[in-house]
């Protein structure tokens, strides 16, 4: 769960600081917060990850690495539950979950435009 939230916040802050998405995979508003289904399929059932065979960090630009490092510096020491609670208070996830009850399954996408607008307002 924590990996999913960190990846979500990397996308959010890339939209704000870099004016572009960090990755193209869709983020969905699941009951426990934002989830990238493509990433979930790769780590499902694993509670700790010590190595990652997918991707190559050398493909990241210095700007992308800086964004990721800043996100990890701020959010990285937070617990999974803290990150879940935070995303549940924020508009992008809440907007995508409209009409769904707490804990109800859903796979509606979280719009990048909603993320950019919301997190830009926090950046001022």
Q: Characterize 98-117 residue by residue with b for buried, 16 or more Cβ atoms within 10 angstroms of its Cβ, and e for exposed.
A: eeeeeeeeeeeebebebbbe
Residue 91 has which token pair?
Answer: 């508009």
Evaluate the CA torsion angle 63, 79, 38, 54 in order and state its sign.
positive
Q: Where are the domains of the chain?
A: 2-122
pTM: 0.92
Tens of pLDDT along the chain (124 residues) come to: 899 999 999 999 999 999 999 999 999 999 999 999 998 887 776 667 666 677 788 899 999 999 999 999 999 999 999 999 999 999 999 999 999 998 899 999 999 999 999 999 997 6
Neighbours of 82 (CB within 10 A): 13
């Amino acid at each position: 769960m924590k990996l999913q939230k960190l990846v979500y916040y990397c996308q959010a802050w890339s939209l704000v600081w870099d004016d572009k998405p960090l990755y193209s995979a869709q983020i969905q508003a699941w009951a426990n917060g934002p989830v990238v289904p493509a990433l979930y399929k790769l780590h499902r059932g694993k509670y700790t990850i010590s190595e990652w065979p997918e991707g190559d960090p050398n493909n990241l630009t210095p700007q992308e690495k800086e964004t990721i490092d800043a996100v990890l510096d701020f959010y990285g020491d937070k617990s999974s539950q803290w990150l879940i609670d935070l995303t549940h208070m924020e508009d992008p996830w809440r907007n995508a979950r409209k009409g769904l009850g707490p804990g109800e399954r859903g796979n509606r996408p979280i719009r990048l435009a909603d993320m950019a607008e919301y997190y830009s307002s926090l950046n001022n």
